[in-house]
Chain A
Amino acid sequence: MPKKSSLSITVKRISKNKGALVGMFIVIVIIIVAITAPFIAPKDPYKQDLLSSLEGPSLNHPFGTDIFGRDVLSRVIYGARTSVSISFLAVVIAILMGMIAGTLAGYFGGVLDEILMRFLDILMAFPDILLAIAIVAALGPGKSNLIIAIAVYSFPQFARVMRASVLTIKNSEYIEAAKAIGESHISIMIRYVVPNALAPIIVQATLRMATAILTISGLSFLGLGVKPPEAEWGTDLAMARVYLEIAPHLGIFPGLALFLTVMGFNLFGDGLNDALNPRLKDR
């Protein structure tokens, strides 16, 4: 059982795990790029220049230009901002929803648990991004609906993790003790149950950031997510697909950024998981 005092042990374990370090490095770089996009982007990502449309990489435009003559490098940089901000909001909402549902189900058990879990089963019966597509199909494309779709599609995972860790500590002696001295249900949940579940939730959140970023660009690629002209990797790849025959370079850079970001979050999440559950390693 990892506890707060084991933070330094966790940090040590991560620093020994090469994959986790690479992942952490990528994640930090992407977050810095996302925050500082307006300062580090060499050009305005929305400024059109039809005279230099579909140019290959050059000194002036290191990643080339798109059909409207916009600078691809700047669009890739701004794309990080779009992906990171949307996925972060969606994952935070999903964590809150999942923690509430999972804590209630695990702590009270019985019929409530049964109903909530069956409902999650049904949500998870929709494979891959299909549930997100269904939600966006109804609500319509756009940023806020994208956030709702990703939150709804991600929260069952958090609810399960939360429920599982509630179940493991529910009958422990210190919870009994807290009950015996008359602490209320809510206070027990907030003071003892939730902090104990934080480690697996953080691991799950890191991995879910990867899935969320993939879902955002997947939906945007289909035309169901972020709308053009806003810079987003999936949206830009959808446009690139049209001009692949004459400008293949357009298909490289937004995808590479997307791939590295997803890999960074996956590596970091796996590393955290290994560091927090050392017994599972080597499997």
Chain B
Amino acid sequence: MTKFIARRLLLLIPVILGVSIISFSIMHMIPGDPARIIAGEGATKQDIEAIRSKYGLDRPLIEQYFRFMKGILTNDLRSIKTERPILKEISPRFLNTVQLAVVSIFISSIIGISLGIASAVRRNTWLDSFAMFFSLIGVSMPIFWLGILLIIIFSVFLGWLPSGGKGGVEHIILPAVTLGLATSAIIARMTRASMLEVLNQDYVRTAKAFGLAKRKVVYKYVLRNALIPIITVIGLQFGYLLGGAVLTESVFGWPGLGRYVVDSIFNRDYIAVQVGIMIIAMSFVLVNLLVDIFYALIDPRLRRG
């Protein structure tokens, strides 16, 4: 097991390096002179030169990359707009995104697993068709349109929930449901497929033949064995939610990291964009790694693969 984890960690290095290089290069893919763009319109030649040397844009690219990485690790790298250390700007927003993603994955796991179980047990009934229809809608629904619809229904017409901002529990419900719909659809599909596979196993047939109650068979034997792929999908989806929260955060004005990155693009705060995108991508990679390790822990056959 230690060997497996060590190998996965080793494989992680090139990905992390690559992610950091791509994030770093955002500022250098700008067509034209980044210093001029950061300085804004109407800047004098001296202004532009000052910015160029302040951000080290006149140094060789490799040196700039190492300064960038070192700046993050030593907390010297600062936001262009607020001049505060960039990690100080990012960490509260990242926590907001994590909070939204956690609530969201919780809601969508409950919806997804119950729908999935119901449709697998009552295969080819109206319930099954409904669950499959729901999951079709879930994967095709534009997340920001879902947010707008929920605002129209629950804020504008019913007046039950606020349409945006951050505050009490009532503020997180609409964004969390919005963010989680597609995820609950995917979890429902996975649960159904996984349950059906186990339901066809010999030991389930044996249990049924012994005359055990259907309820007991479903929950004690089937669900428990079907759970591994379901938990894996939930883990992977959690990673997606962290990254996919950008649109949801924008619809509801939720002060998360995705929204911060988008705002920073408009503020030409390229350092905030670089570091924000890097942190989102890295947390996605790390969550995937944890899911892999978890999977290997409970299913030893996978350690060799």
Q: Which residues of A contact B (CB under 8 A)?
A: 19, 118-119, 121-123, 125-130, 133-140, 210, 214, 217-218, 221-224, 234, 237, 240-241, 244-245, 248, 251-252, 255, 258-259, 262-263, 266-267, 283
Contact = CB atoms under 8 A, between A and B. Distances in A.
Contacts of B149: 251-252, 255
Interface of B: 14-15, 18-19, 22-23, 25-31, 136-137, 139-145, 148-149, 151-152, 155-157, 163, 193, 239-240, 242-244, 246-247, 250-251, 261-262, 265-266, 270, 273, 277, 280-281, 284-285
Contacts of A128: 240, 243-244, 246
Q: Is chain A's interface secondary structure helix, strand, loop, or mixed overall?
A: helix
Nearest to A256: B145
Contact of B156 (A133, A136, A244, A267): A244
B13 to A, nearest CB: 11
A283 B193 contact: yes
B148 A241 contact: yes
A241 B141 CA distance: 17
Given A133-B277, A267-B136, A139 B22 contact: no
Contact of A130 (B15, B137, B266, B280): B280
Contacts of B240: 127-128
Contact of A259 (B28, B30, B142): B142
Contacts of A224: 262, 265
The 10 closest A-B pairs by CB, nearest first: A127-B243, A255-B145, A122-B18, A138-B29, A263-B140, A128-B244, A251-B148, A127-B284, A262-B140, A248-B152
B145 to A, nearest CB: 3
A267 B137 CA distance: 10
Nearest to A254: B145
Contacts of B266: 223
A127 B139 contact: no
A9 B23 CA distance: 47
Contacts of B163: 244-245
Given A248-B156, A255-B148, A210 B250 contact: no
A266 B140 contact: yes
A130 B277 contact: yes
A269 B178 CA distance: 25
